[in-house]
Chain A
Amino acid sequence: EAQVTQNPRYLITVTGKKLTVTCSQNMNHEYMSWYRQDPGLGLRQIYYSMNVEVTDKGDVPEGYKVSRKEKRNFPLILESPSPNQTSLYFCASSLFGDQDEQFFGPGTRLTVL
């Protein structure tokens, strides 16, 4: 089944404790991205990747890192999480870019205390 998977689905952590949210897709898509969703603000892009080893900042990249060592995986790293990073995070992938149909993962709800 074609899908985007994320882990963990739920995470409660404390300020400053490094964490990684994994994202994997099995559709051989070139493009992957991370969004955060906050009430009243919609979906805002954090980082995106056009291909392996090619990543770039989205609209709200501060406090996040990403890597794209393999085509299928695109982990999101929070090296020192803060409470303002409490949010619902979505990974998405598409064939060529965000101008294409994007397939979203199930989401990761992160709470930073």
Chain B
Amino acid sequence: QQPVQSPQAVILREGEDAVINCSSSKALYSVHWYRQKHGEAPVFLMILLKGGEQKGHEKISASFNEKKQQSSLYLTASQLSYSGTYFCGTEIQGAQKLVFGQGTRLTINP
């Protein structure tokens, strides 16, 4: 069951904030976030386990809401280097398998 990411694309100016959402129709055990810069391989950002844990990575943080079966990725004071496509991967409880969303393209302009 592929998770749904929103928005599909977002364009920001440098210094603005962004939120990317990842929703599942099934109960989740974990959510993974990856970033892929244009022409490159996806790179791991963080894993969130069930329990509403919030994690941070530089000015990028994420939350995981079990009840809503969703995760949100927060990019604060975005930098040009944050441009790329962000993927969430979700592990459904009991499935032991990661399924990626369709991706959210983030463009940061000067």
Contact = CB atoms under 8 A, between A and B. Distances in A.
Contacts of A35: 100
A90 B42 CA distance: 9
Contact of A105 (B34, B41, B91): B41
Contact of A107 (B41, B101, B103): B41
Given A99-B30, A106-B41, A107-B41, A42 B98 contact: no
A80 to B, nearest CB: 27
A102 B44 contact: yes
A35 B41 CA distance: 11
Contacts of B89: 43, 98
A90 B44 contact: no
B98 A99 contact: yes
A43 B42 contact: yes
Interface residues of B, number: 20
Interface in B26-41: 30, 34, 40-41
Interface in A31-81: 35, 40-45, 59
A102 B91 CA distance: 14
A42 B100 contact: yes
B54 interface: no
A39 to B, nearest CB: 9
A99 B96 contact: yes
A104 to B, nearest CB: 4
Interface of A: 35, 40-45, 59, 90, 97-99, 101-107
Interface of B: 2, 30, 34, 40-44, 47, 87, 89, 91, 96-103
Given A42-B103, A98-B98, 9 more contacts: A40-B102, A42-B102, A43-B42, A45-B99, A97-B96, A98-B97, A99-B47, A102-B44, A107-B40
Closest 7 CB pairs of A and B: A104-B41, A98-B98, A42-B102, A43-B100, A101-B44, A42-B100, A104-B42
